[in-house]
Amino acid sequence: MKKVLVTGADGFIGSHLAELLVERGYQVKAFAYYNSFNTWGWLDTLPADKMKEIEVFSGDIRDPNGVREAMKGMEGIFHLAALIAIPFSYHSPDSYVDTNIKGTLNVLQAARDLGTERIMITSTSEVYGTAQYVPIDEKHPYQGQSPYSATKIGADRLAESFYRSFNLPVSIVRPFNTYGPRQSARAVIPTIISQLLSGKEEIKLGSLTPTRDFNYVKDTAAGFVAIAESDRTIGEEINIATQREISIGDLAHEIIRQINPNAKIVCDEQRLRPEKSEVNRLLGANEKIRRLTSWEPQYTFEQGIGETINWLRDNLERYKSDIYNI
């Protein structure tokens, strides 16, 4: 499998994955969300020598014809295109159904018709909801605690059905919370870093008690490639997790320590999720990915945060640190 398509390549994880695939010698086609400004999202920030190796296809994952056109001649597909912001899904759930469920169906149908050799469907740890036991392995029950997670559960089950019904060579890749350079400002780590770097002494956050299992983005991208390169992962759903958890409060204190030890945290009501929607604990098991592939995390949390701070320092003008981004 050398010719691959990455949907959502203009996004945070997708742009890092496209970059890594080029480094590993793959022929990469990047599916970017069409817009009349001819901008390719984070792909526009990649070094020129990498972009020279990437063919960009502008399209809309909700359009089956465009998806099929992009997938022609591709041996593998990494399907990352999705709407992911949880607060936005509270008031615009239709767009999540159209993008996350219908978009995934478009990829699966085209792959079936075109005989695609490998299909990586991107899931999320949010499908598990608040942990019923930890660490959360792949047998943990699903719980749709937001319209976003409900659509990702739907997309995953569609992918499973195509594997079981048509023997489609699908793997469901389930990253736990990923962070790093190029992450959107709606996520907690860029929120904290961008507020601190712009000189704020009071950092506005929602709930501080939830815990998360944070993957550095380069480790997440490497996990995708490891899963794609193993035949043992076909028909499986696989966590990418560090098997370490940290609370949002402790995370904020680590970032404050690295940037400005005098800063304080204040609770901002509008950043709180509805009580039954807040996922209180996420800690992922990574035994399965270690057993089926050679992947393991290369970055400590402190190293990843350091790299993220350095990148944001150089790119602060891209972030609006004075508004709450959903």
Residue 258 located in a structural domain: yes
Give the chain's mean pLDDT.
94
**Do 166 and 223 belong to one domain?**
yes
Each residue of 128-149: pLDDT tens digit? 998 999 999 999 999 999 999 9
Residue 125 and residue 254 in one domain: no
List pLDDT tens digits, range 293-323.
999 999 999 999 999 999 999 999 888 766 5
Query: Is residue 296 assigned to a domain?
Result: no
Longest dimension (CA), the chain: 59
On whether residue 290 sits in a domain, the answer given is no
- The whole-number average pLDDT for the span 178-202 is 91
Whether 13 is in a domain gets the answer yes
- In terms of domains, do 86 and 233 share one? yes
Same domain, 149 and 204: no
Domain contains 126: yes
User: Is the residue at 74 inside a domain?
Assistant: yes
The answer to whether residues 138 and 203 belong to one domain is no
Quickly state the pLDDT bin for 187 (edges 50, 70, 90): confident
Residues 99 and 190 in one domain: no
State pLDDT tens for residues 82-123: 999 888 999 999 999 999 999 999 999 999 999 999 999 999
pTM score, whole prediction: 0.94
DSSP for 178-204, please give it: EESTT--TTSHHHHHHHHHHTT-SEEE
Tell me: the pLDDT tens digits for 273-292?
676 767 788 899 999 999 99
- Residue 270 above 80 pLDDT? no
Note whether 201 and 142 are same-domain residues.
no
Inside any domain, residue 324? no
Lowest-pLDDT choice from 50-54, 85-89, 170-174, 212-216: 85-89
Q: CA 227 to CA 222: how far, in whole Å?
A: 9
Q: Please tell me the distance from the alpha carbon of residue 40 to that of residue 53, in angstroms, as a whole number.
A: 15
**pLDDT, position 321:** 61
Looking at the fold, whether 76 and 132 belong to one and the same domain comes out as yes
**Domain of 198, in residue numbers:** 181-212+245-281+301-318
- Same domain as 197, residue 129: no
CATH of the domain at 163: 3.40.50.720
Q: Tokens for 4?
A: 């691959």
* Domain total in the chain: 2
* Beta carbons of 31 and 57 less than 8 angstroms apart: yes
- pLDDT band, residue 33 (cuts 50/70/90): very high
pLDDT, residue 325, reads 53
More confident residue, 23 or 191: 23
Q: CATH code at 207?
A: 3.90.25.10
Angstrom distance (rounded) from CA 228 to CA 19 = 16
Are residues 21 and 125 both part of a single domain? yes
Q: Are residues 54 and 171 in the same domain?
A: yes
Residues 116 and 193 in one domain: no
Return the pLDDT at 124. Answer: 97
Q: Percentage of residues in the chain with pLDDT exceeding 90?
A: 83
Whether residue 291 lies inside any domain: the answer is no
And the tokens for 65? 């014809």
